[in-house]
Chain A
Amino acid sequence: MAIRFLLTRLFSLRLVIALFALVVVFGADKVPALNVLDQTLFDLVHQATDTGNGTDAPQAQSLDARVLAQGLERPDWGFPMVRAALALSLMFLMFALPQLGAALSVLLVTLIATALLITQAGLMLYQHLWLPLGQVVVFLLAGFVTMLFWLQPFREIQSLRANVQQARYQLGKLLLQQGQPDQALEALATCPPDEDTLDLQYDIAIQQERKRQYDSASRTYEQILSQKQRFRDVRERLDAMQRLTSDSTTSLAAGFDSTRTLVMPDQSVSKPTLGRYEIDREIGRGAMGVVYLGKDPKIARTVAIKTLSYNQFEQTELGELKSRFHREAEAAGRLNHPAIVTVYDVGEEADLAFIAMDFAVGKPLSDYARADRLLPLPVILTVLAQVAEALDYAHGQKIVHRDIKPGNIIYDAASKALKITDFGIAKITDDSRTRTGSVMGSPLYMSPEQLKGQKVTGASDIYSLGVTLYKLVSGETPYNGDTLANLTYQILNKRARSVREFNPELPDSVVRLINKAIQKEPAKRFASAGAMAEAMHRAASRASSKETS
């Protein structure tokens, strides 16, 4: 490093110019060429003022002697003055010149040289003072010519450098847009640093940070620091990052999974993102994995983000899983109904896939599914009638929910609004491929045909909605088994327990409605979710008129 520094400084034309200035200061007497201009000027002025008094000194005499002979005085401040002028010229040549254009520099040098000569002549004529500024002019002109040789390649290098910077910057930006931050960083690493390229690297580092790639972000920050000792808050961020990774190496390495939550880093590290969404906090665990509350910063919209961690799956299953995920999420995304949670976006990160959807305000109906906190009957019937209408719409679009249960219906008691969530998600998380000794999902709301692995249709949703209604009016489900095997057996082979057992006051119409919906044979249930909705609306108005009477 030191050698390189020396070499670049030593073999530079600027150093030659500086040496030249020293020669002028100390060896002006010994180098006659330097005095040529002084001599010429002296002769010219001398001839102009020559009064022909005959004391003409012979040309052979040295300039000094002739100056003396002419009676010209050498002021005390003469020497320092000449040296100062030399120093100024040196500065001008070394530092100002490279910044100037060719034409301007020629003009300036000419002006300065002329000004110096005129000053010298003026002093001679009117003050009878001798100031050898000619040396300075010779130095200036010779130095200028030398610098010209250097300036041309220097300017070319400058423009090439700017060109490289620009090209690398554009390349880095392009690579980044194509989602290849590593290649972008590589393109910028060996590039001569400037504000733009540093900015870009900084942006990449922030992005890596948000994507929880803390190791990569640290490397990027270090790369920035290697190019510029201090750049914005890079040093602080790097420190925060190192604290974070040393604190929680294991949890970061493990990343997301269904049981672990995202590590929320401290203030100095950017908030994590999924796709373009900023993650605020965890709001629950769903069928797939952790659910987060997030924000779309572009339009300041609050979203619920359901994540599906890849960690729980074998590498070889991932391809199929991902395509299933996108297929189902996109199908759900086509649904547009006031009572169905809108899916905004489907995305993928290195270790997980996610669905961004409308954040439904309210509580899941499972909160009202215990015998001691049931909703009033007319409310239940009205709400579920709306669910049935939404299902009817979805079935019309050839989309089956597959997992209707109280927990998937969000009800806002204040506004009476409701939203069905998790359309088709049951199909994504079909956990049949992961073998387990313990029960994962419970089939309490699952229709017999679904349990047998037969084709799932709209009739299966009707069955599940029937069980949901059963649960909401009684706090119980039609079948109950202590194990999955037992429960499955009952659903497939046993008669449902009558809902009257648990709620003796239930009107006949509601009991009939439930029994029709939970028939084992799909063909014996309601012909459509729409028909079930109508039946529930009728039952609701009867129930509410009975309540008011």
Chain B
Amino acid sequence: MTLTAAGLCDIGTKRDSNQDTIAWAVSDDGQRALSVVADGMGGYEGGEIASQLASDTVMEALTPLLASGAQDTATLQDRIQDAITLANKRIHTVRSDHPKLSKMGTTLVLAWVQNNQACIAHLGDSRCYLLSGKTLTQLTRDDTVAQNMVDDGSITLEEVPRVPFRNVLTRALGSSDDARASFGHTNLAPGDRLILCSDGLTGAVTDADWPDIMAPAPSLEDQARRLVDISLDHQAADNVSVVLVQSI
């Protein structure tokens, strides 16, 4: 099995700034891959800084592990959580030092792939999907008030766009001292793809359409490009980010 990754980030059609940050790295032998999507918030500069800070910190802390690989799942989870906690701390420091950035924060979704296994960590509403053949499975659950309301049966999925607090996250980096991520695990068969994305993509294109949109493109780059292009065609209101990881 060899891993490849590709990603694309676009400002979208309605925003003045790009507050999304994406990053990925594959080990030299192609056996391990790390990918990140962060979607910042809290004003103009704040969002950009927070997502960049989160992505940089996590990449910096975990890239050394790419060469050696993690011994077991528990160690891996600890290392990932430590990286996220460090990122949260750094965002907090900047927040308290700069009044203008006092509201900044960011979502984070991270996927670590090793030995046909993917470990996914996230906070906020940036998502990770598994595309196996033509079957798309959402691996993360949004940390939003609206998702909670859907889960407890207060509202239906169709009602989400009208809920007043629909954009309020229940968890994010920077908004509280507690930055414990939710973890998920999945197996990757050859040909399977992981899709990490910000809500700019999910908000502009229904996820059910993704397999068909990606199908005609031969390379991972082209598949990412097609997803972003279609969301721009749909007048994506937010920044659009996609990172794809595939095992061959």
Which residues does A use to contact B, with CB under 8 Å?
259, 312, 314-317, 430, 432-440, 443, 446, 450-454, 483-485, 488-489, 492-493
Contact = CB atoms under 8 A, between A and B. Distances in A.
Nearest to B102: A259
Contacts of B145: 484-485, 488
Interface of B: 14-16, 41-43, 99, 103, 105, 124, 145, 148-149, 152-155, 159, 161-172, 174-176
Q: Which 3 A-B pairs have the closest CB atoms?
A: A453-B162, A437-B175, A437-B172
B84 to A, nearest CB: 14
A259 B15 CA distance: 22
B170 A435 contact: no
Nearest to B199: A435
Contacts of A312: 43
Contacts of A450: 164
A259 B165 CA distance: 21
Contacts of B124: 437
A461 to B, nearest CB: 15
Nearest to B13: A316
B198 to A, nearest CB: 11
A455 to B, nearest CB: 9
B154 A316 contact: no
A432 B164 CA distance: 6
A236 to B, nearest CB: 33
Nearest to B39: A435
Given A312-B43, A435-B169, A451-B165, A489 B149 contact: yes
B167 to A, nearest CB: 4
Contact of B165 (A316, A317, A437, A488): A488
A446 B145 CA distance: 15
A436 B162 contact: no
A454 B162 contact: yes
Contacts of A443: 164-165
B170 A483 contact: yes
Nearest to A434: B167
A451 B163 contact: yes
Contacts of B164: 430, 432, 443, 446, 450-451, 453
B159 A452 contact: yes
Contact of A484 (B14, B15, B165): B165
Interface of B is mostly: loop
B166 A316 contact: no
Given A312-B43, A489-B154, A492-B152, A437 B169 contact: yes
Nearest to A315: B16
A43 B59 CA distance: 119
A55 B155 CA distance: 139
B167 A433 contact: yes
Given A451-B163, A452-B163, A316 B16 contact: yes
Nearest to B149: A488
Contacts of B99: 259
A438 B175 contact: yes
Given A430-B164, A488-B148, A437 B105 contact: yes
B148 A489 contact: yes
A438 B103 contact: yes
A119 B175 CA distance: 105
B155 A452 contact: yes
10 contacts: A436-B169, A437-B169, A450-B164, A451-B164, A452-B162, A453-B166, A485-B148, A488-B145, A488-B148, A488-B149
Contacts of A436: 41-42, 103, 105, 167-169, 175
Contacts of A453: 155, 159, 161-164, 166
Nearest to A426: B164
B152 A493 contact: yes
Given A312-B43, A483-B170, A484-B168, A492 B162 contact: no
A352 B7 CA distance: 39
B159 A316 contact: no
Contacts of B105: 436-438
Nearest to A435: B167
Contacts of A484: 145, 165, 168, 170
Nearest to B162: A453
Contacts of B170: 483-485
Tell which of A434, A438, A489 has the most Cβ of chain B within 10 Å.
A438
Given A436-B41, A436-B168, A438-B105, 20 more contacts: A316-B15, A316-B16, A432-B164, A433-B167, A436-B42, A436-B167, A436-B175, A446-B164, A452-B154, A452-B162, A452-B163, A453-B155, A453-B161, A454-B159, A454-B162, A484-B165, A488-B154, A489-B149, A492-B152, A493-B154
A439 to B, nearest CB: 7
A436 B47 CA distance: 10
A434 to B, nearest CB: 7
A320 to B, nearest CB: 11
Contacts of A493: 152-154
Given A437-B175, A484-B170, A452 B41 contact: no
Contacts of B149: 451-452, 488-489, 492
Tell which of B145, B155, B171, B174 has the most Cβ of chain A within 10 Å.
B145
Contact of B16 (A314, A433, A489): A314
A337 to B, nearest CB: 27
Contacts of B169: 435-437
Given A314-B15, A315-B16, A485-B148, A437 B163 contact: no
Contacts of A488: 145, 148-149, 154, 165
B89 to A, nearest CB: 16
Contacts of A435: 41, 167-169
A454 B161 CA distance: 11
Nearest to B104: A437
Nearest to B147: A485
A443 B165 CA distance: 9
A385 to B, nearest CB: 29
Nearest to A489: B152
A438 B102 CA distance: 11
Tell which of B145, B153, B161, B164 has the most Cβ of chain A within 10 Å.
B164
Contacts of B174: 437
B238 to A, nearest CB: 8
Nearest to B170: A485
Tell which of A434, A437, A446, A492 has the most Cβ of chain B within 10 Å.
A437
B175 A316 contact: no
Contacts of A314: 14-16
Tell which of B165, B170, B174 has the most Cβ of chain A within 10 Å.
B165
